[in-house]
């Protein structure tokens, strides 16, 4: 036996979609119902565990044999569930190093993170059976007790033997589909390096991060009390039954002489500019009641394991176009920032339910709870966090690729890129809080909005007008930034020409350390790291402006598989973000091999759980700042700090 392909069907009363697999498998009523497998690509066999069949001894042994490669679609699910089945305690799981994920394999080639969708896109002969969702709902989740079903809260095989046979067929078909996907993708194997990165990701997810659950529970309670009080105040002011109803509140505002199209965040802020009296107070209450801060705390309660650690928060290759990571469950990739002066004091006020002191000190309880979300992540006893992140990583990578030397010099000397950009744009010295310091804001907004071909619309989306920059100046900012960065603009259009050439001719093309190639219906962009970005079924098309463009198939903004269009600066954005991702994983590999416990990472930031008195911030930042061998000349730098709870400095 060299390989084994696996798919399991399970039962748990925990909602997998909300809690994640680690919490799901920890439920006392968790069990494996069916175990389907195939050895070395052979016949698929189904073990009916729920009805007393036993998984063969050789298969059980294979699960822990590091020499045998285990394959599954979303292999994390099988690995974590089987760890529970084998009796592993909470916090210990099957070693991921001999597990390989067909979902990740598909993602490296730009395909969806769904077995059903991958099968459909590839046009497989044996696709995932569409009956699965109903069968999973019937056998794998609790059911509602009714008179008709005798008041039971769970369906067993004996309650519908015909459905059970269909379920076994469904389980078997999943393995067949997975193996077909492997066969179709075999021409494009995942590199050993990328599998090592996947295994590191799984180890990080297994390790997890501790949560201060006492604080979390008090935060939830605090939000509930505050919401009740503010809702009652809104009722008293308006006389309406449900102040949270947009329809009822709009009608009340119209009665007060307001012109109201919607109650979106932007519209409420607009109305507040001129509001007075009760209208002003109601709109402020609306803003506060709309705060979603408590949702993160509830997610923490839902996800946390019995050892007070949250696991499975990071999705490897969550962004198929770049290979970047995405968030799961608590969604750590979009945590609110914190700006409170005294975070420990604010935490203690929440922990002691001192609502009046919170309002007296900070004014707005929902905002306080929102800013304290990060602080719910804590190191285990005897440890502290060291947080280290790359400084302006995308701007540095973009300048490095393009050869925009003045920018590289700024980064090498530790300069302020926003001041330097404004100085380059306007041809005069700009110093933060100094000479021409008012121009720094324009340099900053230009830097944030224009690096990937953005124009006036990008500046507006980034909040330029809201920051006080007159709309009439925006076009000039675009022109000034592009004029100050001629090598970057040249890079955009060189990539645009390279992609069009390769898609049109099916011939390879190289420039800027990148190689563009077309193989078996996929456009590849090979990065200096050796990893390749993939664009499925590319072809030439016409964009909305009537110009030639490249289109390809992928998951769009609607989460559906569709044809997308792109152009040079957008491909450059993918290239730069993918390269930044590769730099991050190399840094994490170095840290991991040196014995550091990576408890979480967010964007370009790594959170380490370090014993007190061991290591220091400077050492970790130095390790992060080591250039990969393939990135000679890249002005890489990392900053960091240590903390007793997670926060943003």
pLDDT digits (tens, 9 = 90+) for 622-648: 999 999 999 999 999 999 999 999 999
Instruction: Please determine, for residue 271, whether its predicted confidence score (pLDDT) is greater than 90.
Output: no
Higher pLDDT, 613 or 7: 7
Instruction: Please determine, for residue 128, whether its predicted confidence score (pLDDT) is greater than 90.
Output: no
Task: Based on the fold, state whether residues 99 and 180 are members of the same structural domain.
Answer: yes
Task: Based on the fold, state whether residues 25 and 122 are members of the same structural domain.
Answer: yes
Q: Evaluate whether residue 367 is within a structural domain.
A: no
8 Å CB contact between 108 and 190: yes
At residue 269 the predicted structure's pLDDT band, cuts being 50, 70 and 90, is confident
8 Å CB contact between 560 and 120: no
Distance CA 554, CA 385 (A): 38
Instruction: Please determine, for residue 18, whether its predicted confidence score (pLDDT) is greater than 90.
Output: yes
- Boundaries of domain holding 619: 382-391+510-649
Distance CA 49, CA 38 (A): 16
Question: Lowest mean pLDDT: which of 204-208, 363-367, 581-585?
Answer: 363-367
Where among 429, 450, 484 does a domain terminate? 484
Classify 422 as helix, strand or coil.
Answer: helix
Smallest Cα–Cα separation from 473: which of 484, 459, 485?
459
Where among 469, 484, 499 does a domain terminate? 484
Distance CA 106, CA 75 (A): 13
Q: What does the pLDDT average to over 517-538?
A: 97
Task: Based on the fold, state whether residues 42 and 108 are members of the same structural domain.
Answer: yes
Q: At 85, phi and psi to the nearest 5?
A: -60, -35
**Would you state the pLDDT for residue 606?**
97
At residue 291 the predicted structure's pLDDT band, cuts being 50, 70 and 90, is low
Where among 484, 501, 530 does a domain terminate? 484
Distance CA 162, CA 304 (A): 37
Tokens read off for 511: 């420039």
Task: Based on the fold, state whether residues 160 and 33 are members of the same structural domain.
Answer: yes
Report the percentage of the chain scoring pLDDT > 90. Answer: 75
Structural domain tally of the chain?
A: 4
Report the percentage of the chain scoring pLDDT > 70. Answer: 100
Mean pLDDT of the chain: 93
CATH assignment at residue 529: 3.30.70
Question: Lowest mean pLDDT: which of 331-335, 516-520, 578-582, 644-648?
Answer: 331-335
Q: Evaluate whether residue 365 is within a structural domain.
A: no
At residue 293 the predicted structure's pLDDT band, cuts being 50, 70 and 90, is low
**Would you state the pLDDT for residue 110?**
93
Per-residue pLDDT of 386-408, as tens digits, reads: 999 999 999 999 999 999 999 99
Q: What does the pLDDT average to over 355-381?
A: 92
Distance CA 329, CA 416 (A): 36
Question: Lowest mean pLDDT: which of 232-241, 589-598, 615-624?
Answer: 232-241
**Would you state the pLDDT for residue 457?**
93
Task: Based on the fold, state whether residues 125 and 31 are members of the same structural domain.
Answer: yes
8 Å CB contact between 604 and 389: yes
Q: What does the pLDDT average to over 247-252?
A: 88
Per-residue pLDDT of 472-494, as tens digits, reads: 989 999 999 999 999 999 999 99
**Residues forming a β-bridge with 390:** 638
At residue 292 the predicted structure's pLDDT band, cuts being 50, 70 and 90, is low
Distance CA 95, CA 200 (A): 11
Q: Using CB atoms within 10 A of its CB, is residue 456 exposed (0-12), middle (13-18) or buried (19+)?
A: middle
Q: At 273, phi and psi to the nearest 5?
A: -60, -35
> Which helix (H) or strand (E) element contains residue 517?
strand 514-519
List, as one string, the DSSP characters of 228-267: HHHHHHHHHHH--S-TT-HHHHHHHHHHTT---S---HHH
Task: Based on the fold, state whether residues 285 and 255 are members of the same structural domain.
Answer: yes
Q: Evaluate whether residue 273 is within a structural domain.
A: yes
Q: What does the pLDDT average to over 251-270?
A: 84
**Would you state the pLDDT for residue 647?**
95
Task: Based on the fold, state whether residues 523 and 628 are members of the same structural domain.
Answer: yes
**Would you state the pLDDT for residue 245?**
84
Q: Which segment, 411-425, 516-530, 547-561, is predicted with the most confidence on average?
A: 516-530
Rg of the chain on CA atoms, in Å: 27
CATH assignment at residue 274: 1.20.1060
Distance CA 378, CA 183 (A): 44
CATH assignment at residue 139: 3.30.420.10
Task: Based on the fold, state whether residues 170 and 232 are members of the same structural domain.
Answer: no
Instruction: Please determine, for residue 39, whether its predicted confidence score (pLDDT) is greater than 90.
Output: yes
Question: Lowest mean pLDDT: which of 25-34, 122-131, 175-184, 343-352?
Answer: 122-131
DSSP label of 208: -
**Would you state the pLDDT for residue 263?**
84
Q: Evaluate whether residue 523 is within a structural domain.
A: yes
Q: Evaluate whether residue 200 is within a structural domain.
A: no
Task: Based on the fold, state whether residues 52 and 184 are members of the same structural domain.
Answer: yes
Per-residue pLDDT of 59-89, as tens digits, reads: 999 999 999 999 999 999 999 999 999 999 9
Q: At 24, phi and psi to the nearest 5?
A: -55, -50
Instruction: Please determine, for residue 242, whether its predicted confidence score (pLDDT) is greater than 90.
Output: no
Q: Evaluate whether residue 468 is within a structural domain.
A: yes
Distance CA 82, CA 94 (A): 8
Task: Based on the fold, state whether residues 302 and 327 are members of the same structural domain.
Answer: yes
Distance CA 459, CA 450 (A): 7
Q: What does the pLDDT average to over 520-548?
A: 94
Task: Based on the fold, state whether residues 82 and 160 are members of the same structural domain.
Answer: yes
Q: Evaluate whether residue 625 is within a structural domain.
A: yes
Task: Based on the fold, state whether residues 574 and 453 are members of the same structural domain.
Answer: no
Q: Evaluate whether residue 396 is within a structural domain.
A: no
Instruction: Please determine, for residue 495, whether its predicted confidence score (pLDDT) is greater than 70.
Output: yes
């Amino acid at each position: 036996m060299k390989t084994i392909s696996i798919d399991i069907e399970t039962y748990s009363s925990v909602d997998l979609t909300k809690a994640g697999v680690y919490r799901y498998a920890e439920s006392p009523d968790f069990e494996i119902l069916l175990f389907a497998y195939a050895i070395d690509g052979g016949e698929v066999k189904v073990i009916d565990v729920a009805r007393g069949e036993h998984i063969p001894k050789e298969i059980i042994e294979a699960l822990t044999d590091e020499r045998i490669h285990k394959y599954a679609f979303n292999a994390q699910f099988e690995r974590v569930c089987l760890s529970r089945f084998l009796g592993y305690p909470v916090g210990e799981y099957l070693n991921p190093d001999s597990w390989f994920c067909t979902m990740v394999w598909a993602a490296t080639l730009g395909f969806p993170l769904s077995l059903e969708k991958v099968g459909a896109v590839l046009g497989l002969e044996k696709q995932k059976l569409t009956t699965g969702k109903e069968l999973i709902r019937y056998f794998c989740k609790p059911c509602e007790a009714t008179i008709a079903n005798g008041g039971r809260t769970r369906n067993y095989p004996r309650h519908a033997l015909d459905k059970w046979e269909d379920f076994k067929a469904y389980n078997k078909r999943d393995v067949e589909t997975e193996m077909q996907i492997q066969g179709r993708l075999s021409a494009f194997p995942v590199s050993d390096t990328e599998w090592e990165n996947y295994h590191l990701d799984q180890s990080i997810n297994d390790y997890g991060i501790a949560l201060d659950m006492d604080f979390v529970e008090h935060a939830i309670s605090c939000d509930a009390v505050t919401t009740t009080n503010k809702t009652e105040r809104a009722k008293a002011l308006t006389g309406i039954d449900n102040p949270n109803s947009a329809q009822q509140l709009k009608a009340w505002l119209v009665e007060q002489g307001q012109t109201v199209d919607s109650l979106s965040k932007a519209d409420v802020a607009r109305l507040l500019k001129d509001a007075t009296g009760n209208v002003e107070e109601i709109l402020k209450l609306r803003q506060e009641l709309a705060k979603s801060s408590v949702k993160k705390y509830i997610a923490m309660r839902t996800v946390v394991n019995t050892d007070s650690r949250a696991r499975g928060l990071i999705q490897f290759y969550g962004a198929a176009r770049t290979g970047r990571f995405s968030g799961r469950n608590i969604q750590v990739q979009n945590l609110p920032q914190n700006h409170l002066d005294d975070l420990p004091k604010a935490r203690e006020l929440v922990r002691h339910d001192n609502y009046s002191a919170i309002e007296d000190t900070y004014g707005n309880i929902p905002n306080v709870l929102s800013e304290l979300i990060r602080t719910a992540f804590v190191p285990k006893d005897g440890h502290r966090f060291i947080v280290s992140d790359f400084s302006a990583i995308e701007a540095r990578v973009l300048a490095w690729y393009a050869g925009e030397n003045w920018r590289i010099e700024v980064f090498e000397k530790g300069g302020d890129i926003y001041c330097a950009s404004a100085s380059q744009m306007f041809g005069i010295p700009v110093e933060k809080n100094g000479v021409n310091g008012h121009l720094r804001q324009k340099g900053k907004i230009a830097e944030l909005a224009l690096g990937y071909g953005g124009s006036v619309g990008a500046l507006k989306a980034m909040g330029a007008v809201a920051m006080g920059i007159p709309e009439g100046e925006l076009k000039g900012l675009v022109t000034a930034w592009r004029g100050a960065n001629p090598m970057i603009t040249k890079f955009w259009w060189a990539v645009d020409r390279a992609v069009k050439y390769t898609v049109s001719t099916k011939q390879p093309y190289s420039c800027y350390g990148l190689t563009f190639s077309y193989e078996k219906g996929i456009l590849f962009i090979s990065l200096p790291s050796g990893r390749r970005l993939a664009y499925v079924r590319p072809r030439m098309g016409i964009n909305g402006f009537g110009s030639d463009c490249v289109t390809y198939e992928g998951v769009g903004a609607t989460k559906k598989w569709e044809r997308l269009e792109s152009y040079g600066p957008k491909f450059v954005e993918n290239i730069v973000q993918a390269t930044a991702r590769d730099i991050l994983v190399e840094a994490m590999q170095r840290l991991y091999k040196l014995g550091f416990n990576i408890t979480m990472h967010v964007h370009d930031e790594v959170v380490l759980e370090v014993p007190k008195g061991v290591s220091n911030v400077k050492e970790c930042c130095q390790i992060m700042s080591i250039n990969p061998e393939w990135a000679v000349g890249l002005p890489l730098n990392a900053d960091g700090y240590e903390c007793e709870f997670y926060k943003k400095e």
